[in-house]
Amino acid sequence: MLHKGRQAESFARRPGDGIWAVVAFSDDEGLASDAAQSVLAAWGGKAGLDVTVLDDDAIRKDPSLLFDALEAVSLLGDARAVRVRTSGDKIAALLIEAIEAGDAAPDRYAARLVVETGSLASKSKLRIAAEKAARTACLQLFADEAGDIGDRVRAALLADGATISDDALELFTGDLPGHRAIANAEIEKLALFSRGLGRPVGVEDVRALTATSLRQDMSGVLIAALDGRPADAHNALDRLTEAGTSPISILRSLQMETLRMLSAHEKTAAGDSNPGRSLRPPIWPNEWPAFRSRMNAWPPKRLMRIMERIHDAERQAKTAGPTAEPIVRLLINDLARAAEAAR
């Protein structure tokens, strides 16, 4: 069955017990990732899920990985799910086989399945199979409109008992990046700032919060870690911590950068001569050599391992609350050391 736009977002938050598989797709891969995360959170509830993350490369090399992961039963009895990140129809036949088998026999698999991908044409075999399957949901997500973004900002602040002036909201939403994953991190940062403020968030608050130095420190942490410079990564992380940046925001930014590098690998493999320009946010020509070098150090398989680590770290960080900073620091340190060793 197919759900579109807001209906798809609403469904992702409450997928129901009758659905065993979800295929989420969008031109903005951050939206598909958000929907997949919402589905997993809904299925896991307070106890959470044991999630196995797979991608095109891993499944094409060993198709049994997908079915083994779906059939595996947790020794501790924990609920399980398999999260697959794919592009188009590269592994469509295998995913269709899994969807149809799970649809025909409700007890066929021990784990549930979530597939996230970019745009799928109406003639896509994977999309057609997901739309036809009775126990599989197909979610098509669309880019946010200006009013939708403003509503999301107000809702995020309201959840923390805060409000924002109209001028401040206009300034904040005007500076938000187009990619949902990055925008989410910025909105969460604003919500954390507003907590306990005791007054509406104003224009000066927004200007101070989105200062260039903080953006540079966030970028500095990610680039230093992925380039294999542990000391620089820790120094930038210290500055973010002192500025009150939440550990979850850092994890979301790392997730976005990982997804961007995965997208760059896919575009390069497809023969795109200038993949940097179509990334979100784009890589400018003067930035491309360094980004390309980073891609060489982190092939798709290693990037998918980062995604697994991010998922685990985010689950731990949400449980740890105020003491989550060491969890993120350990992950950043591990990535920097791994990149340093691979030089």
Confidence of residue 113 (pLDDT cuts 50, 70, 90): very high
Q: Please state whether beta strands 21-25 and 112-117 pair in parallel, antiparallel, or not at all (unpaired).
A: parallel
- Tell me the average pLDDT across 93-120: 92
- Tell me the average pLDDT across 101-125: 90
CA atoms of 245 and 252, how far apart (whole Å): 12
Q: CATH for 145-210, among 2.30.29, 1.10.8, 2.30.30, 1.10.1740?
A: 1.10.8
- Tell me the average pLDDT across 7-18: 90
Listed by start position, the domains of the chain span 2-140, 145-210, 212-343
Q: Please state whether beta strands 112-117 and 50-55 pair in parallel, antiparallel, or not at all (unpaired).
A: unpaired
| pLDDT for the residue 327 | 93
Q: Is residue 193 predicted with pLDDT exceeding 70?
A: yes
In CATH terms, the fold of domain 212-343 is Zinc Finger, Delta Prime; domain 3 (1.20.272)
CA atoms of 269 and 264, how far apart (whole Å): 9
173/38: higher pLDDT: 38
| pLDDT for the residue 322 | 65
Instruction: Report the first-to-last Cα separation within the chain, whole angstroms.
Output: 47
pLDDT tens digits for range 115-171:
999 888 888 999 999 999 999 999 999 876 556 778 888 998 998 899 999 888 887
Q: Is residue 212 predicted with pLDDT exceeding 80?
A: no
317 in Cβ contact with 247 (< 8 Å):
yes
Q: Is residue 196 predicted with pLDDT exceeding 90?
A: no
pLDDT tens digits for range 222-261:
999 999 999 999 998 988 887 677 788 889 889 989 998 9
| pLDDT for the residue 287 | 84
Of the listed ranges 143-152, 173-182, 268-277, 281-290, the one predicted with least confidence: 173-182
User: Which burial class, exposed, middle or buried, applies to 14 when counting CB atoms under 10 A from its CB (0-12, 13-18, 19+)?
Assistant: exposed
| pLDDT for the residue 137 | 94
The answer for residues whose C-beta is within 8 angstroms of residue 132's C-beta and 6 or more apart is none
| pLDDT for the residue 135 | 93
Cα angle vertex 236, ends 233, 241, to 5°? 120
Nearest to 218 by CA among 204, 191, 188, 238: 238
Nearest to 25 by CA among 149, 115, 98, 102: 115
194 in Cβ contact with 160 (< 8 Å):
yes
Q: Is residue 185 predicted with pLDDT exceeding 50?
A: yes
- Tell me the average pLDDT across 285-295: 90
Superfamily of 2-140 according to CATH = P-loop containing nucleotide triphosphate hydrolases (3.40.50.300)
342 in Cβ contact with 297 (< 8 Å):
yes
CA atoms of 258 and 159, how far apart (whole Å): 29
327 in Cβ contact with 313 (< 8 Å):
yes
Of the listed ranges 70-74, 215-219, 221-225, 311-315, the one predicted with least confidence: 215-219
Dihedral sign for Cα 86, 276, 312, 48, please. negative
Most confident segment among 99-108, 211-220, 312-321, 327-336 = 327-336
180 in Cβ contact with 144 (< 8 Å):
yes
| pLDDT for the residue 213 | 46
| pLDDT for the residue 121 | 84
Average pLDDT, the chain: 86
Q: Is residue 41 predicted with pLDDT exceeding 50?
A: yes
